[in-house]
Structure 1
Amino acid sequence: MSLDELAVETCSWAFGNSGTRFKVFAQPGVPRDPYEKLADAAQVHAYTGAAPSVALHIPWDRVDDYAHLARYAGELGLRIGAINSNTFQDDGYRLGSVCHPDPAIRRQAVDHLLECVDIMDATGSPELKLWFADGTNYPGQDDIRARQDRLAEALAEVYGRLGEGQRLLLEYKLFEPSFYTTDVPDWGTAYAHCLKLGPKAQVVVDTGHHAPGVNIEFIVAFLLREGRLGGFDFNSRFYADDDLMVGAADPFQLFRILAEVLREPSGGIAFMLDQCHNIEPKIPGQIRSVLNVQEAAAKVLRIDRAALSAAQREGDVLAANAVLMDAFNTDVRPALAEFRAAKGLDPDPMAAYARSGYFAKICAERVGGAQAGWGA
């Protein structure tokens, strides 16, 4: 894979207001509808040249005419990426969605997932991304095995609805919002369900969805070997799922993960920035994140794979580690500046956006109406 092929999807909700569990912080110029979210996403792509698609979240990005929304994206030089479902913000989902003990609630949840496939048809989206907040808080609250049966049944129905060129990406998360059991808590659970569903079902790995100390690059390597790594959600965390800017807390971890992902052509892996910019400005936060991924990727592409393989075959531990560290410690920023200039982009995307006046423009224009945010 080359830097020219690296594409990082932005997510629509990253451009809206977000915050902590305690407070959502409003910012000026925040989009009020999906069309304005796409306009902001187009800025990220315009200055980085590496963010050509935007993930939607339903119902946060619900519109009357999805085909029209997709055409508008095309006019901006973008395409619609993954359609993300929402089975966690309805009052009925207090005890779960597709795993809920009540068949009526499960039906409601599955109908929503089928609606998302309809939206895929209308927008040309190739991926349905599923993350379930389902789980339990107390021992004995529900039958753990029965919940897996319900999950499998729901997934099978949705999988059967997928069309040609569409796939289902199943995400997992260690905990939260349920704190005793989570119905899809780890890559093994997601992988097992995907295996039973078929080749159109793959696993999504999110950096922040693991216990501290988990070796994420091992998970990535295993799923790649099995052909089941469908997507990778970039963010950064220090304690738990903080959704901070990718590479912020541990850039070496990002490098190690990409060292596995970029070993082979990764056209089938959907890279997405799944982040919430709570205190930093939205568009620059996304631009900075894309640049962080590019920088890590540029270092990975400098790994001397032949020397690494030779050292590994010979059992030379120090030499093998040195090959990786030499690549990681390389300052690739000048080369990336030249790479952007050769593509007709400003060598410094952050500075170019700051000079553009776009932020002042949207602050002046986006007056009135309801700003987008969590749940909108």
Structure 2
Amino acid sequence: MLRNDLKEKVKNFKVEIPSWGFSDSGTRFKVFHIPGAAKNIFERIEDAEQVEKYTKAVSAVAIHIPWDKVDDWKHLKKFAEDKGLKIGAVNPNLFQDEDYKFGSLTNLDEKKRSKAIDHVLECIDIMKSVDSKILSLWLPDGTDYPGQGDFAKRQELLIDSLKKIYSALEKDMTLLIEYKFFEPAFYHTDTADWGIAYALSKDLGDKAKVIIDLGHHAQGTNIEYIVSILSSRGKLGGFHFNSRKYADDDLTVGSVNLYELFLIFVELNKFFDLSSDKKPALVIDQSAAMKPKVQAMIQSVEALQIAYLKSLLVDVKSLKEAQLNNDIVMAEEIIKDAFLTDVRSILKEAREEMGLDPDALNAFRQSDYESIVAKKRG
């Protein structure tokens, strides 16, 4: 692909950023305070505006309910639009209510199960108010000990709950089903892997798809293979991008697994034009507990831009020839050649052509934004 074509591709590449990525976060042991970290959705959108200001690569801001709950959703929508942003995926919270100790959508108690369903239905109403089209559902339900629950019964309750939720979606809305093989449940999880999420999406219908979180897999899982299989079957709905070393670490994108990230984009390019609107929901999902929040988000956006640019350099024609000839060495070399190419100068040129500072992170670090909000927010 020609240099100018690459620049146009990356100029039109957009990613959704999470509201929760701008607030204090941590581990099960401790939440550390970052000076100026956002405390409410309005401050989170102000921070998101900074990422868009320096990268021009933000498609929307994903929200989490009830963390981001407000009294006037139309006001929030306008507030975001005034910042040059829009509200993206709506994420229900089914893991922080005492009633969900033994499950939310799979709870044996019909009253508690209905409460969980009603919460998700409330999120669909919020989607209508803010003009969101994506309902992103992560289910933490599961068991900690053998014998604690009946696997099949819990699946029966889950699909029944999901059908109630699915029926409330409007025609242009999509339900993304997320999976995770452990945590907070440690013996079994009701949506433990992509196969279960795929089966549920098939049972529900065309408006249900699978979302992949890069940290939600066992060590050694071939995520790019999952990307290919789901994409080829029309069931890949989106991503939660982050990095992991051991488990669901929620580290900043590209901080650990750069080659894996690149290979994921190589597979995505076979099925989607990621510089267009017709692509899966590409969303960052990270904790960045030890990093200044806006800087961490700019880092992650840039990591995705670089991985995308590198993936576009793969010589697809030569790769197919090598595969047809079973030339394993050449096939690998073609992939590695693209990965090892430094594309940062292309990204910098694209930014300059958009009227941006070519070094987005440094430009933000030189601004007074962090010190201003640290004083303002206390």
Q: 323, 326, 331: which one pairs with 1:312?
A: 323
Letter in 2 for 1:291: E
Counterpart in the other structure of 1:219: 226
Q: 332, 350, 356: which one pairs with 1:339?
A: 350
Instruction: Return the alpha-carbon distance in structure 2 between the equivalents of residues 3 and 41 of structure 1.
Output: 19
Letter in 2 for 1:124: D
Counterpart in the other structure of 1:290: 301
Letter in 2 for 1:165: D
Counterpart in the other structure of 2:313: 302
Unaligned stretches of 5+ residues in structure 2: 1-5
- Deviation at 1:32? 2.3
Aligned length: 367
- Deviation at 1:255? 0.5
Counterpart in the other structure of 1:231: 238
Instruction: Return the alpha-carbon distance in structure 2 between the equivalents of residues 170 and 345 of structure 1.
Output: 36
Instruction: Return the alpha-carbon distance in structure 1 between the equivalents of residues 253 and 37 of structure 2.
Output: 21
- Deviation at 1:294? 0.6
Counterpart in the other structure of 1:247: 254
Instruction: Return the alpha-carbon distance in structure 2 between the equivalents of residues 75 and 262 of structure 1.
Output: 33
Q: 152, 176, 179: which one pairs with 2:159?
A: 152
* 244-253 vs 212-221, greater mean Cα deviation: 244-253
Letter in 2 for 1:50: A
Q: 43, 50, 57: which one pairs with 1:50?
A: 57
- Deviation at 1:268? 3.0
Counterpart in the other structure of 2:13: 6
Letter in 2 for 1:112: H
**Aligned to 2:88, what secondary structure does the other structure show?**
strand
Counterpart in the other structure of 1:322: 333
Percent identity for Structure 1 against Structure 2: 47
What is the CA deviation profile of residues 53-93 of structure 1, one whole-angstrom value per residue up to 9, with x for unaligned ones?
10000000000011110111111011100000001100011
In the alignment, is residue 196 of structure 1 matched against residue 203 of structure 2?
Answer: yes
Counterpart in the other structure of 2:88: 81
Counterpart in the other structure of 1:353: 364
**Aligned to 1:170, what secondary structure does the other structure show?**
strand
**Aligned to 1:353, what secondary structure does the other structure show?**
helix
Instruction: Return the alpha-carbon distance in structure 1 between the equivalents of residues 301 and 36 of structure 2.
Output: 21
Letter in 1 for 2:286: Q
Q: Is the 8 A contact 2:10 2:347 kept in 1?
A: no
**Aligned to 1:30, what secondary structure does the other structure show?**
coil
Counterpart in the other structure of 1:25: 32
Q: Is the 8 A contact 2:243 2:253 kept in 1?
A: yes
Q: After TM superposition, which residue ranges in structure 1, 4 or more long, deviate above 4 angstroms?
A: none
Instruction: Return the alpha-carbon distance in structure 2 between the equivalents of residues 276 and 146 of structure 1.
Output: 34
Instruction: Return the alpha-carbon distance in structure 2 between the equivalents of residues 165 and 80 of structure 1.
Output: 16
Counterpart in the other structure of 2:3: none
* 107-116 vs 46-55, greater mean Cα deviation: 46-55
Could you state the TM-score of these two structures normalised by the residue count of structure 1? 0.96
**Aligned to 1:321, what secondary structure does the other structure show?**
helix
Letter in 1 for 2:187: Y
- Deviation at 1:316? 1.2
Instruction: Return the alpha-carbon distance in structure 1 between the equivalents of residues 372 and 143 of structure 2.
Output: 46
**Aligned to 2:58, what secondary structure does the other structure show?**
coil
Q: 162, 165, 174: which one pairs with 2:172?
A: 165
- Deviation at 1:4? 2.7
Q: Is the 8 A contact 1:299 1:332 kept in 2?
A: yes
Counterpart in the other structure of 1:134: 141
Q: CA RMSD in A?
A: 1.0
**Aligned to 2:101, what secondary structure does the other structure show?**
helix
- Deviation at 1:342? 0.9
Counterpart in the other structure of 1:274: 285
Could you state the TM-score of these two structures normalised by the residue count of structure 2? 0.96
